[in-house]
Each structure stands twice: as structure tokens, then as C-alpha cells.
Structure 1
Amino acid sequence: MPHAAPLEPTILVIFGAGGDLTWRKLIPALYNLYLDRLLPERFAIVGVARKHLDDGAFRRRLREGVDLFSRRGPADEVDWDRFSAHVAYLSDDLNDPASGPALSQRLEELERTWGVRANRVFYLAIPPEMVEAAAAHLQRLGVCRDCQRDRLVVEKPFGRDLATAVALDRLLSGMFAESQMYRIDHYLGKETVQNILAFRFANSLFEPIWNRRYIDHVQITVAETVGVEERGGYYDRSGALRDMVQNHLLQILCLIAMEPPISFDADEIRNKKVDLLRAIRPIRAEEVHYSAVRGQYGKGTVNGRAMPGYREEPGIPSGSITETFAAFKLYIDNWRWQGVPFYLRTGKRMPARVSEVSILFRSAPHQPFPAAAVENWQPNRLVIRIQPEEGIVTRIQAKQPGTRLQLGPVDMQFRYQDAFSVAPPEAYETLLLDVIRGDATLFMRADQVECAWKIVAPVLDAWESVPPGDFPNYPAGSWGPEAAELLIAHEGHSWLQHTLQEDRK
């Protein structure tokens, strides 16, 4: 088997290095890549934040995060010492026009030591309101001008609505080339999300039936047991629609429903996603109440523990009208999917933490079995589990043991933990390595972000113009408001019980 070409020297600069994202996700991911020998031989990590720290204090702080959040558990002393020798810290204020020379000097020193112009990755692990200042900072320093070697990683959210998303894109595109920008959505780095493409396009068994002739409807559920945790201030300005539907759920929908690509070239994959988003039937203002449902959780019980309502959570105003639950019904107007409803739902304080896609197939054209034999009959379904247990479940009908003809559902299961001897990488490991490699396949392009905002814009406008009068409208520990059941019941469907819960029975 041919070996991959060695990676070029790389400097990763993290703005917001003192924040939670760096501590919980980025450094543990980079440490695991180092242990797996996937980082370049010559690499450096430069953390940038306003707080005054020396390298030693910064490394000790990062070590705590690795010990708590690395998938491998606490760091080995020797391995950590070797990794952390590549880590440094700079105190810098993005809003200070006089700041910056120290960063330029550090980049030049590293490249002079290595004797080569390195690839430079600038990761904006900062609040959305600071992105403009960071971009202007980089432009002023002139350290991110090489379209081939310099990359800018921008975390979601990409704007608060269509207008702000377009404005952000114009701002960034005026300073950097589109090829330099990596808009990151960590959901796209999950192993099972990526496996959707392999499952669909590498198996001739499924591709012929992946269309309106055989599929009745599709359900996508992303449920969380947690509330807002420490993100109360951010979440109350965002809500479920902005935080989850506009990005995560629509990205999963793209992978499930996009047309087959000609190749796995990054732009070819992203072109197909944009085509799919453009084919989604627009939701007209007068149809919002038929196509979307919102909810906010009140007091309740999750896994036997009493939970406060959203308005009693830390940092949440007592009269907040921010939605913590959103459900959508969408149609895709193309030859493959015409008339097939896609149901999307996401919520906090749900009974279980689960993310999965359920594809429900149409019934067989003729039922020859006696009525008594099919009392437990269920439609065939295919379930793609994204978290917490990654895998794929195919539900079919089979004769149950016994002398009577009795059919019942049985599951054929593929579990990552059973099929492979190694644990899958964390999402940020995959995405950070792709940035270092310069592979933009799993990152969103500007037109893709804009198309996603156009889909949810009518709902966002309608919800903001007419405040909800029934919040909170579902108790913590339930599957959302009653209106969500009515949304899907209009077509004779019901939300499926998630497969993890069924496995426990």
C-alpha cells in the first residue's frame, strides 16, 4: 500500500486559546493526532489570547483539558512533554491596532529555524462578534496572504440570519480567498456522518432504492438530555433553529439526499450539497405553522433527576421566548425525492441523548400473509446512528420461531465498536487534520451557508414577528411539544422511538 506524502511544516495559531473550545476540543484533538503520528514532523501551536500567561502556565492549563477530555484518558508524562514542547503562548489584544508584532516575529522565527515557509493555519476559536476584528488583525499583519499555504478556520455560527451571513461573507471574501476559508461544523467530522457517503455510494445494494419509489419518508433527530449548561448567554441569543437546524441538521440532510458525485473532489461534493439545498421547497410565510414547530422546556425529570425549566437556567432571562426545540417538515423538489417528506427535529432536555437518521421504506406492493401473521408487522427501515453509539441498523421482517406463521421485526446491526478494533477519531481530530492537509471536502462553502439560511429565513422571520404564547410547552424529559406530533401526523406518520431505547428492552 502506498504511503501518504509527508505533511508540510505547519504552524497552527489559535485565537481564543484561553477559551473552552481550545481546552475541551482543539488541544485534546491535536494531542491525539500527535500520538497517532499524523501531525507534520515540524509543527508548532501558538495560542493567542488577551490574558497574560507564560508558556508553562498555558501548557499546564492545556494538560488539564487533555486529562479530562481526551478519548485516550489522562496524558502520559513523556508523551505530553514531547507534545507540549511544540506549544507556545502569546498575549495579544485583537482590538488594539498596535498589537501583533509579536505574532509576526514568532512566525518568522519558526520558519527561519525550519528553513522553509510553513503552512499557516489561523483558527478563530472566538465569539462571533470578534471575527471581524480577528480578520482585520490578520490583514493588517499581512501574515495570511498566501492562497496556497495560509488558511483561516471560522467556527459557527456563520451569521445570525441571511443578512448577517451575507455581510460576514463579504467581509471575509474582501480579505481572503474562498480557497483559504474553512467554515467548520464539527458534526461533519463525526465518523458515522462521513460514513453516509460510503454507505450510499460504495454499495450497489442500496443506491437503486434510494429514491421516491421505495422510500416513504425520512426522519432526522438530534436530541440532547442537557440544558444550556454554561452557554446560557450565547444560547438565548441563538435558539435551536440557529444553533442546530440551520447547520447540523441541514448538513446531515445534504449527505442523505444529495445526488451521486462524479468524484470525491472537495468542490464536487460541495456542489452536490448546494444543488440539494437549492432544491428544497421554500417555506412560504403563510405556511410556516404547517411546516415548523417550536418549543421551550419547562420543569421536568430527565433520567430520574429533577430539572429546572429553561427560564430558571443560569443566565436565562425569566421571560425568555427562545426556543429550545424545533421541528421541520421539508420537501425536495427534484426527480429523486419529489413528494417524500423529510422530518427534522432537535431539542434540549430530551429523554435521551441520540442523533440518528431513520429512512422508512414503502410497504411491499402486495401482502399475501393472513392478518393474524402480521400483527407485529412494521415497515422496513434503515437507521444511521451518529451518536452516542455509532452504527447502522437495518430492520426487516422475519418469521418468528414456532409452529404458527407469525412475522415480526428483527434488526441487522453494524456497530463501529464491534466491527473495528480501534476507536474512531473525535470529530475535531478529523477536521483539524483535513485543514492541515488542505482538504476542504468536509467544510462549508459560502454559497452553501447562504442557501441554508434561505431555507430557515421564513421560519425565523415568522417566529420573531409573532412571539410564542405557550412557552414553556413541553416538560423536561419529554420528546417535545404536542404540536410536533401533529406536524408529522398530518401525513399519517409518527416520530419513531429511537433505536437505542429499543435495544435496552
Structure 2
Amino acid sequence: MEKKADTLILFGATGDLSQRMLLPSLCALDADDLLAEDLRIVGTARSELSDGEFRDMARKAIEQYLPDHRRGSMAQFLNRLTYSQLDVTTPDGYRELADKVGKDREIAIFLSTAPSLFEPTIKGLAEHGLADSNSRICLEKPLGTDLESSCQINDAVAAAFPESRIFRIDHYLGKETVQNLIALRFANMFFEPLWNSQHIEHVQITVGETVGLEGRADFYESAGALRDMVQNHMLQLLALVAMEPPGSFDAGAVRDEKVKVLRALREMEPQESVTGQYRKGAVDGQPVAGYDEELGRDSNVETFVALKAHIDNWRWQGVPFYLRTGKRMPERVTEIVVQFRCVPHSIFPNARLKQNRMVIGIQPEENIHLSMMAKVPGIEQEGMTLRQVPLDITMPDAFTGKHKRIAYERLLLDLIEGHQTLFVRRDEVEAQWRWIDSIRAVWDKEGREPKTYAAGSWGPSKAIALAERDGVSWHD
């Protein structure tokens, strides 16, 4: 898709995501002169607001969530905004929205509503000329709770929009370090020849959260850690680590290679997964309640998952991918650890060689850390004394003058400009759900109940054993 959108419609424009992420991101893009002068932004939600009241709400959100130095001319940005009240379940408001948008516009629609509202929303858009060949739509997760419900959502969207105009968002793909993973692998000659089972022993992917439910009890009870984190964010990270080199950075080429990885995931054995649920403990030195206490009742929903995954193809045969994610962890962290194999023969009889390891930090800090062996300075009579030393690339230090962007900035700009590379295709989503459903089927068959762990720890002891029985330690 080559034409840039000249109108962006934000559904759920008064909601939490819009105020924390979308409006601040758009303001930052405007401040950097990355939005076309004629781009209009139309917010819509059930709240009864005038244009002026919506702009005032947007101003307060931007002042709260966007640093001063990134705001630019606030008045210039706010003048782009208009508002149209709409209850997506009734047909009444769509005509007013269509009138506000006008005729012959290139439209980008960001749908930040509950998935149960996707079908009536798309029907209303289609009936009022807002889902024609000049429109594209972006869908915010969750896209279903299993393969069947995901297919239903995708079918509803596909009834009005072809795949070339559907943008399924995973905000992790907008993070600089995630994109830099692609550059690291495919723009550097010394990495890609080593990026296979001959040289890599295992890979770890960790997504740790310090928070608990935070008012999301209903959602989390229907999701759990496997659906909330592994199905989307973590499998997308795995696919980027493991995919074959695409022929180009074209959306089709990149996503073709990712889906091959997802389809090559081996069905998991019962002993290759661990589930947990946090109990009361301490995080950052402060006492916190357990999941059952926060929820107010007993529950079998997992707040922690650890998995040992295998990719059955030539590049990765025999290389385990260890995944873990959980709430109420000791620290907020998202990282990828690539553990290289030992050198085949050591010529240093008095030195204990340690394996090279690459740690790609995604949050809270974006950095790349490579550990390697080097000689300790000094004169020795026999042999050499070696020590592991770090080679660090910290993003703010490596690119002086570049500020840290909100992940949604990149993705909103790509939506407006029609670039799909960093968005998720339907066959990717369905391959992810197919693998996740197979794991849940194993849990259901054996009546799996999550093991308890203290808030502020790295999960139940079984998660440690999952890696340690292979001689592997989690990177804490």
C-alpha cells in the first residue's frame, strides 16, 4: 500500500491506551515533523464530548505521559483533533462519523475496543462507506482466546477488509531493540554465519513484570500468562530470533519467514512446561498480596509460565528455546539471551573458559551486551590468565541525540503510511494460537494446577529445574 492516510480515526479515543500511548505518540510524531500537514485525527468513543473537550482531554494526557522536550507545538497538534460520539453497537453514530471524515479521504482506522465489538464496528463502518478501498484498519490485541475465536474475529474483519489492509498490532515490534535484532542478524557478516545449532547452545526469552492484576482481573481470568504474553509478544520475539534471512525487508518476505518458524514449533511434552501463581510476598521491598487475595477468590489461572520449546528445522534442530514470563517478578525485564557453545578445544590449560553470551535487553533499558574472553593485563611466566569481559552497546550512548521513542510511534506512523512489515499477518496469528492451544490441551488433559511462588521471586522451583536438568541456568 503506497498512499498515505490523510485521516486517522481512533476508536476508544477516551480510553486508557489512547491517553497513555496513542495521543502522546501522535503528538511526538507531530513534534518531529513526521506527520503530513493535512493529516486529521478523529477520535470517537461513547463519551459525549465536544471537539474542544476532547482536545482538552488530549492535552492533559500528553502533559502527563509525554516529556516536555518531546511535545513540540501542542497547539499545532491539538488543532488536528476532532471528535465524534459513537456507540459502536448502534448504527446511529456512524453517519455522523462518516460526515465528519468526509468524502474521498485515505482513512486509517485504529480499533482499540473489546474484540466482542469488532464485528458490529466493522459492519457499521462498511455500511457507511468507511471500509472501502481507501481505508485500512489496525486491530489491538487480544485477538481471541484460542484458535477458534481468533478465526471468528479474523473472518469478521476479512468480510470488509482484505489482508493487505489489515494491520494487527503487537507493540513489542515497535520497540527499537526488537527492530535492531533484525539489523543485528542481517546487516552484520560476523553474526549470521554463527546463528544456528552448530554454534548456539540455547536461547532464553524472559518477560518479567513486577505488577499484579492492576484492575485487569476480568481480562486476566480469561487469559492467564500463556495467552496474555506467550501467544503474542514472546512468540514474535522467538520468530525474529529464529527466522531464516528474508529476501528483503518487504512485509511479505519478513512475515513469510516468521510464519515458517511458528509452524515448525514442536508440540510440547507435559514435562516441558511449568505454570505458577503468585502468593503474597515483597516486590521492591514493599509487601504485596497474593493473586487469590487480589482476586478475592480461588483460581487456577496461571500468572507464570516457563516453557522449553523446540523448532524442528535444519537451523535449530537440538537447540532448546527456554521461555518464561510472570507477574510479581523481582524486576521488570524483557530480554533475549543467546548462549553460544564452548570452543571445541582450549589451548589455555590454566584458564577456565566461559561461553560467549549475547544478552539483548528490550525493557526497561534497550541495550546489547556481548560477553567474551580476554587476557588479563600483566606478565606471566606460564600461560595466560583469562577473564570474561563485556562489550556493551547502550542505545542512547550509541546514537547521541536520539531520544527514546514510545513503541506505538513507529507503528502508528507505519499504519498511516501503509507499511505492514512490523505488523502481524493472519497466518502468523493462527500458527501462534495453534501451538498455544496444543499446550493448553495438555494442561487440561492432566488437570494442571499452577504451583505457587512468592511474589518477588522468579517463579516456582520447578521452573528452575526445567532448565537445570539440561545443565542450564536462567539469566537472572
2:330 matched residue in structure 1: 351
CA distance in structure 2 between the partners assigned to 1:40 and 1:444 by the alignment: 25
1:388 matched residue in structure 2: 364
1:107 matched residue in structure 2: 101
1:369-417 C-alpha deviation (Å, 9 max, x unpaired): 234x32xx42110111111111111100122244554322110000111
Match of 2:302 among 323, 334, 345: 323
1:131 matched residue in structure 2: 118
CA distance in structure 2 between the partners assigned to 1:71 and 1:461 by the alignment: 46
1:433 matched residue in structure 2: 413
CA distance in structure 1 between the partners assigned to 2:220 and 2:367 by the alignment: 30
Match of 1:57 among 53, 68, 85: 53
CA distance in structure 2 between the partners assigned to 1:55 and 1:465 by the alignment: 54
Task: Report the Cα offset of residue 91 of structure 1.
Answer: 1.0
Alignment: residue pair count:
471
The answer as to whether partners of 2:28 and 2:70 remain within 8 angstroms in 1 is no
2:196 matched residue in structure 1: 211
User: Structure 1 residues 434 and 75 mapped into 2: Cα distance closer, same or farther (>3 Å)?
Assistant: closer
The answer as to whether partners of 2:213 and 2:220 remain within 8 angstroms in 1 is yes
1:230 matched residue in structure 2: 215
The answer as to whether partners of 1:327 and 1:345 remain within 8 angstroms in 2 is yes
Structure 1 unmatched runs, 5+: 112-116, 498-505
Listed as ranges, the matches of 1:150-161 within 5 Å are: 150-161=135-146
The answer as to whether partners of 1:9 and 1:40 remain within 8 angstroms in 2 is no
Task: Report the Cα offset of residue 469 of structure 1.
Answer: 4.2
The answer as to whether partners of 1:8 and 1:118 remain within 8 angstroms in 2 is no
Structure 2 unmatched runs, 5+: none
Listed as ranges, the matches of 1:32-71 within 5 Å are: 32-71=28-67
1:89-119 C-alpha deviation (Å, 9 max, x unpaired): 11111111333110111111xx5xxxxx321
The answer as to whether partners of 1:68 and 1:74 remain within 8 angstroms in 2 is no
2:292 matched residue in structure 1: 311
Q: Secondary structure at the match of 2:249?
A: coil
CA distance in structure 2 between the partners assigned to 1:467 and 1:61 by the alignment: 48
1:481 matched residue in structure 2: 460
Match of 2:277 among 296, 302, 310: 296
CA distance in structure 1 between the partners assigned to 2:315 and 2:448 by the alignment: 36
1:184-206 C-alpha deviation (Å, 9 max, x unpaired): 00000000000111110000011
1:122-144 C-alpha deviation (Å, 9 max, x unpaired): 11111122112211111221211
User: Structure 1 residues 176 and 74 mapped into 2: Cα distance closer, same or farther (>3 Å)?
Assistant: closer
Which segment drifts farther, 343-352 or 228-237?
228-237
Q: What TM-score do the two structures reach when normalised by structure 2?
A: 0.95
Q: Secondary structure at the match of 2:76?
A: helix
Task: Report the Cα offset of residue 463 of structure 1.
Answer: 2.8
Task: Report the Cα offset of residue 9 of structure 1.
Answer: 5.3
Partner amino acid, structure 2, of 1:204: M
Task: Report the Cα offset of residue 267 of structure 1.
Answer: 0.5
1:502 matched residue in structure 2: none
Listed as ranges, the matches of 1:153-172 within 5 Å are: 153-172=138-157
CA distance in structure 1 between the partners assigned to 2:344 and 2:417 by the alignment: 49
The answer as to whether partners of 2:28 and 2:71 remain within 8 angstroms in 1 is no
Q: Secondary structure at the match of 2:93?
A: coil
1:120 matched residue in structure 2: 107
Task: Report the Cα offset of residue 318 of structure 1.
Answer: 1.3
Partner amino acid, structure 2, of 1:143: L
Q: What TM-score do the two structures reach when normalised by structure 1?
A: 0.90
Task: Report the Cα offset of residue 424 of structure 1.
Answer: 3.3
1:255-299 C-alpha deviation (Å, 9 max, x unpaired): 11100011111101100111111111122xxx2x22211111111
Task: Report the Cα offset of residue 368 of structure 1.
Answer: 2.6
Task: Report the Cα offset of residue 317 of structure 1.
Answer: 4.1
Task: Report the Cα offset of residue 232 of structure 1.
Answer: 2.2
1:277-331 C-alpha deviation (Å, 9 max, x unpaired): 1111122xxx2x2221111111111111111111222xx2411221111111111
Matched, 1:451 2:431: yes
Task: Report the Cα offset of residue 72 of structure 1.
Answer: 4.4
2:21 matched residue in structure 1: 25
The answer as to whether partners of 1:363 and 1:379 remain within 8 angstroms in 2 is yes
The answer as to whether partners of 2:303 and 2:326 remain within 8 angstroms in 1 is yes
- Aligned-residue RMSD, C-alpha: 1.7
Listed as ranges, the matches of 1:244-255 within 5 Å are: 244-255=229-240
Partner amino acid, structure 2, of 1:137: G
CA distance in structure 2 between the partners assigned to 1:11 and 1:331 by the alignment: 44
Match of 1:400 among 369, 373, 376: 376
1:138-184 C-alpha deviation (Å, 9 max, x unpaired): 122121111xx311110111110011111211221122111110000
Partner amino acid, structure 1, of 2:130: V
Partner amino acid, structure 2, of 1:293: V
